[in-house]
Structure 1
Amino acid sequence: MSHKRPEHSLPPELYYNSDEAKKYSSNSHIIDIQTRITERALELLALPEDEACMVLDIGCGSGLSGETITENGHHWVGVDISKDMLEVALDREVEGSLVLGDLGCGLPFRGGSFDGAISISAIQWLCNADRSSQNPIARLRRFFVSLYSSLTRGARAVLQFYPESIVQADLLQNEATRAGFTGGLVIDYPNSTRAKKYFLVLDVCSTRRIPQPLTENNEMSNHNRNKLETLRECRQMKKLPKHSVAWIKQKKQRARDQMKEVAHDSKYTGRKRRAKF
């Protein structure tokens, strides 16, 4: 018995309502899958290891993928159409900035804002018309043109998605090429029904080779896996207790790095206030 695809049920802003957002963010199986896919996307993104980069998380949802970006030492901005998903992300106190927006209307960022971009299980929604006034081709073009513009020269975007058909996968790749991207499709575990994953790997003004897909005989190298695990453990050890003075100062400094207006630190920073009568 075939399962109905989520994008055929409701528009994303309605499908990911409050109940679905909370369920999605508390399911350990979903969290594990999202984390593994994000780690693979970051491996394909191939950001410099010795510097913190600014990453765009497209369809960030409740911030599960963003947390993995943070654990890998990078800053991020997430955009999503579901207000309920973003509210869960705020409740979870993720460290990225969050933007409410419709990908099909184009990304609302200045040119060259990001060193890279990832998307986990989101862009297939753009292939569906939720209203008679919507044109999927036009929405895809606005998305890819604005994505190309928002990335720095030489940057890469890695978009993981679940195509409904080969025709849909070709459509996404063709529209990305039309917008100016080079690159192509990487299909991990192509011979597996359950493990198969599609990644659209797109470069801006670059002639980098398309990465090799993972297969049953060519999994993520032990070196890369051990490096990811070591990085995660180190960062977990360095994590500051939430709402401590050091944690607050760290968040404020991160906001300053992102050119946001932040109140000056003082001897009262992080102190508990007396209860008001």
Structure 2
Amino acid sequence: MPRPEHQAPPEIFYNEDEAAKYTSNTRITAIQAEMSMRAVELLNLPEGETAYLLDLGCGSGLSGEILDEDGHIWVGLDISPSMLDIAVQKDVEGDLFLQDIGDGLGFRPGTFDGAISISVLQWLCNADKSCHDPWARLQRFFTTLFMCLRNGARAVFQFYPENDSQIERIMAAAMKCGFTGGLVVDYPNSQSARKYYLCLFAGQDSSGKKQALPKALGEEEGDAGVNGVAYERSRQVPAF
């Protein structure tokens, strides 16, 4: 089947029927919950503390339910009115906003303790309108995200890259906007279990030290460069 982002813009693809099917599918909800839990784990938040988090592409609130279970307060953004309608009907705990993240984020500097995003980032690589420039939209998004995160906070994106070139392009945009970090690939040798997480750092941690990229799950000892963490970069990257 063609990738969803190649079929229609997200606000059109996730119409009322598709949003309902997505939210009621037990397999999808289980996978979303698992990926959300892993994203929160990669945020490396202080244990036992309540964090104020941003859920980018929150959809119908599946990832927000995981944030609720962990005791966090969250704000959710999504471009699909139908997805947000379901989230409202479910009476989710988070504050919800209808927002195209490619247009940038309008929050005050240092607002959030972290951000997660599940199955969304690859959509920004498309030009769904004649006025869309994917590179400009990625830079606008990452620039405003960097600003609204507190110093030392992390942003973790689970996404489905189409190819290595797309990964490089996304990472180049993030690093150009001030982030450090890299790609964590869980279970890289499994076609079914492999998951990609872009783990970004907005500055140094509270101790002033450079943050280390988390270890991937399913990583074979002594083979991290191939089977675990890849594409790690600092800010010095060429512009596209």
SS at match of 2:123: helix
Larger RCO (alpha carbons 8 Å, 6+ apart): 2
Q: How many residues align?
A: 216
d(CA) in 1 for partners of 2:91 and 2:45?
A: 25
Q: CA deviation at 1:131?
A: 1.6
d(CA) in 2 for partners of 1:11 and 1:109?
A: 25
Q: CA RMSD in A?
A: 1.1
d(CA) in 1 for partners of 2:92 and 2:129?
A: 32
Structure 2: 5+ residue stretches without partners:
205-209, 222-240
- 1:162 match: 160
d(CA) in 2 for partners of 1:51 and 1:192?
A: 34
- 1:173 match: 171
Q: CA deviation at 1:50?
A: 2.2
Per-residue CA shift, 1:50-105, capped at 9, x if unaligned? 21000100000000000000101101000000011000000011100001100110
Q: CA contact under 8 A between 2:56 and 2:78: conserved in structure 1?
A: yes
Alignment equivalent of 1:6, drawn from 4, 7, 12: 4
Confirm whether residue 113 of structure 1 aligns to residue 116 of structure 2. Answer: no
Alignment equivalent of 1:63, drawn from 43, 61, 64: 61
Per-residue CA shift, 1:2-28, capped at 9, x if unaligned? x20000000000000011111111111
Q: CA deviation at 1:205?
A: 1.0
Question: Could you tell me which amino acid in structure 2 is paired with residue 209 of structure 1?
Answer: A
Question: Which structure 1 residue ranges, 4+ long, deviate > 3 Å from structure 2?
Answer: none
- 2:237 match: none
Confirm whether residue 192 of structure 1 aligns to residue 190 of structure 2. Answer: yes
d(CA) in 1 for partners of 2:168 and 2:220?
A: 27
Structure 1: 5+ residue stretches without partners:
219-277
- 2:216 match: 213
- 2:48 match: 50
Alignment equivalent of 2:90, drawn from 89, 92, 100: 92
Question: Could you tell me which amino acid in structure 2 is paired with residue 79 of structure 1?
Answer: L
- 2:132 match: 134
State which structure, 1 or 2, has the greater radius of gyration over its C-alpha atoms: 1
TM-score, length-scaled by structure 2: 0.88
